[in-house]
Amino acid sequence: MDKYEAVTSSGYAEDKDNASCPSGNRSWENMECYRILTEVERKAIGSICFLAGPITFLQNALVLCVIASSATLRKRPSYLFIGSLALADVFASCFFTISFLDFHLFHGSDGPDVYLFKLGGVTMAYTGSVASLLLTALDRYLCIHQASSYKALLTRRRALLSLLVLWSTTAFISFLPLMGWRCPTGLTPPCSRLFPYVNSAYMACWTSLILVLMVLIMVAYAMILWRAHRHESTMTKLQATSKTGHSRRRMDIRLARTFSLILLILVGCWLPALSFMLVDVSMSLNRTQQRAFAFCGTLCLVNSAVNPLLYALRCRELRIALMRLLQRLCGIGRCKAPPEELSSGLPSGDNITASSEEEMPRTRHNRHTLQPE
């Protein structure tokens, strides 16, 4: 507590950036120390939100509509997890954009309960998004690690149950501040300098949870790559021609590149904001660091905008279902004939994952090579 009092009494008075944030309690009650963006910064962040918010909403809403309109996709756990990810990102585009712009651009004067309710919505959206990414990664791992028993292990009922547990837990964790786990001193230190009324212990727990989920996602993809590498090594030995073996080795490289891109985007979008949150728990942030965090927070929204491109639209089945949906919406005689692949119908493979079929091992034809030893 002495650390925060020293910063409040001397640091803020001497810092030019903090001149508008005196140490009295009145300024904290008016949230002056949280409205840290300059006019130029407000315009920049406002432009990012006004651009990324609608794009994120439209892309993920489209994914949800395609999955909901296809009886085939609704039955498959892989697409249920993709639908959960899209739903979380729809929530993120709405809750984050509205609450962020209202607080920083329009200077909304919500009370503690209203503010924590909005913040809980943002927290629920982003927690559900990362948790859905983990379920998607685990689904891919089961698909390649337990290829022969995949359908028996991951049934639609179990997938729905896991999603129910995910969203129930996420909602409970996200609204803990609204239910009472808030800063005991209101807005004054040692409360968070990034979020009003938020307890530093709660922020530390939530940030740690997200970091653990991200580590589990990385581990799952590392296990997938290891399993795929073993699969490719076995298939290379069985091939009679070097040309086929080289082609399969190239498939392994493409898979590694795809997963590397996924993890790079995930870490690049989330790690800056999480780093500032961890620092906020351990020390007092100045206004320059607060402004930097505001820009880092928009990267999480950008990640939600990229997720449909990485996890949904790369799937051939979902693209086919999208074309069929567009054909129905356009009506007979108003649109061009659908692509040739539409006439062949949806593939009937048992193991459908969220990555493109060109990059995943052909488990349907070589299941005996994917059995665990």
**Share of residues in the chain with pLDDT > 90 (%):** 31
Return the closest-CA partner of residue 299 out of 36, 58, 100, 105.
Answer: 100
According to DSSP, residue 182 is labeled: B
In a domain? residue 347: no
pLDDT at 16 over 50: no
| More confident position, 334 or 278 | 278
pLDDT at 365 over 50: no
Number of Cβ atoms within 10 Å of the Cβ of 229: 14
251 pLDDT tier (thresholds 50, 70, 90)? low
Question: In angstroms, rounded to a whole number, what is the distance separating the alpha carbons of residues 149 and 62?
Answer: 32
What does each C-alpha distance from 125 to 63, 168, 173 come to in angstroms? 16, 12, 11
Rg (CA), the chain: 24
In a domain? residue 121: yes
| More confident position, 237 or 293 | 293
pLDDT in tens, 303-321: 999 999 888 878 888 888 8
pLDDT at 21 over 70: no
Question: In angstroms, rounded to a whole number, what is the distance separating the alpha carbons of residues 206 and 316?
Answer: 36
In a domain? residue 353: no
In a domain? residue 105: yes
Query: Does residue 122 sit in helix, strand or coil?
Result: helix
pLDDT at 372 over 70: no
355 pLDDT tier (thresholds 50, 70, 90)? very low
Return the closest-CA partner of residue 156 out of 77, 72, 83.
Answer: 77
In a domain? residue 168: yes
Residues ≥6 apart with Cβ < 8 Å to 338: 323, 324, 327
pLDDT at 91 over 90: yes
In a domain? residue 315: yes
Domain enclosing residue 288, as ranges: 32-235+255-331
pLDDT at 59 over 70: yes
- Over residues 41-56, the mean pLDDT reads 88
Q: Are 92 and 177 in contact (CB under 8 A)?
A: no
Predicted confidence at residue 149, as pLDDT, reads: 82
The total number of structural domains in the chain stands at: 1
Predicted confidence at residue 57, as pLDDT, reads: 94
**What tokens does 232 get?**
């490719």
pTM score, whole prediction: 0.79
According to DSSP, residue 283 is labeled: S
Helix and strand counts by DSSP (H, E) for the chain: 15, 0
pLDDT in tens, 102-147: 887 777 677 888 889 999 999 999 999 999 999 999 998 888 877 7
Predicted confidence at residue 25, as pLDDT, reads: 40
- The CATH number that applies at residue 147 is 1.20.1070.10
Residues ≥6 apart with Cβ < 8 Å to 213: 130, 131, 133, 134
* Residue 357 CB burial class (10 angstroms; 0-12, 13-18, ≥19): middle
Q: What are phi and psi of 334, to 5 degrees?
A: -105, -20
- Over residues 168-182, the mean pLDDT reads 93
- Over residues 285-312, the mean pLDDT reads 88
**Residue-wise burial string across 89-121, b where 16 or more C-beta atoms lie within 10 A, e elsewhere:** bbbbbbbbbbbbbebbbeeeebeeeebbbbbbb
In a domain? residue 111: yes
| Amino acid letter, residue 47 | S
pLDDT at 257 over 80: no
Predicted confidence at residue 3, as pLDDT, reads: 42
| More confident position, 232 or 95 | 95
Question: In angstroms, rounded to a whole number, what is the distance separating the alpha carbons of residues 88 and 79?
Answer: 14
In a domain? residue 366: no
According to DSSP, residue 285 is labeled: -
Predicted confidence at residue 17, as pLDDT, reads: 44
Q: Are 331 and 301 in contact (CB under 8 A)?
A: no
- Mean pLDDT score of the chain: 76
| More confident position, 35 or 337 | 35
pLDDT in tens, 184-216: 776 766 678 888 888 888 999 999 999 999 999
Predicted confidence at residue 274, as pLDDT, reads: 93
- Over residues 280-300, the mean pLDDT reads 86
